[in-house]
Amino acid sequence: METVVLWCMEIIGTAAFAISGALIAVGCELDLFGVVFIGCVTAVGGGILRDALLGNFPAAIFSVPLLLLIAVVSSLLVFLISYWNVKRFDLLKKRIEMINNFFDAIGLAAFTVTGAEAAFAAGYGDKAVFTVFMGMTTGIGGGIMRDVLVDKTPYVLKKHIYALASIFGATLYYIIRVYRQDTVAAMLAAMPFIVLIRLAATKFRWHLPKIRFENRDT
């Protein structure tokens, strides 16, 4: 049961992040290869970082071609739909941003819990900070790579409650996983928790404080 749920989380996270990354790439007017490449990087980047930190080589994504195929197909579909509806894409930017936020939230939630569970599977379940860090890194790693590649300040560093949602979710996952010894229950609790925080942060414009320089020279 746990293996099936974990596999489902990987598939959901891969497809969701690929769609999110591809939408960003389309908005940046990248070509077909660029859209698919950015979608794939967004989908698998966090997992590659996770495996590198755990010393797993090659990364799991290269041992399971199906996940990479899902990322490619998802990104390609986004490109084709956008290509055939380019005028509507430009007119519906706000709605598309909402769709992107939704898929991004799902991807963040799915990869946060799989990243935390990977730490448990590797024998680090007694190290709370490392487990939470692994969950966060897996959740936000692909998005950071995506933003750097499209020449943007990483979303996680400047807008809404993003990394914190992953940290809170990974912490909840860890607590339930340790004290109830139930992987499925931990996932079913942590995933919607992360999604709700992300969507609420977007809707209510929750931001961490930051310094603004009104008279900075351009």
Instruction: Retrieve residue 119's tokens.
Output: 């730490």
55-97: per-residue pLDDT in tens? 988 888 888 889 999 999 999 999 999 999 888 777 777 787 8
Report how far residue 92's alpha carbon sits from residue 111's, in angstroms, rounded to the nearest whole number.
28
pTM, full prediction = 0.90
Q: At residue 122, does pLDDT exceed 80? A: yes
**Dihedral sign, CA of 49, 55, 57, 60?**
negative
CB-based contacts of 51: which residues, under 8 Å, 6+ apart? 57, 58, 59, 60, 61, 118
Task: State which amino acid sits at residue 191.
Answer: M
Binned at pLDDT 50, 70 and 90, residue 216 comes out as low
Annotated domain spans of the chain: 2-83+92-203
| pLDDT confidence of residue 217 | 54
Q: At residue 40, does pLDDT exceed 90? A: yes
Q: At residue 218, does pLDDT exceed 70? A: no
Which range (78-92, 115-129, 134-148, 193-207) has the least confidence? 78-92
168-207: per-residue pLDDT in tens? 999 999 999 999 989 999 999 999 999 999 999 988 888 8
150-168: per-residue pLDDT in tens? 999 888 887 768 899 999 9
Contact 62, 48 (CB under 8 A): no
* Geometric angle at alpha carbon 15, from 52 and 147, rounded to 5°: 60
Contact 199, 104 (CB under 8 A): no
Report how far residue 21's alpha carbon sits from residue 36's, in angstroms, rounded to the nearest whole number.
9
Report how far residue 214's alpha carbon sits from residue 208's, in angstroms, rounded to the nearest whole number.
18
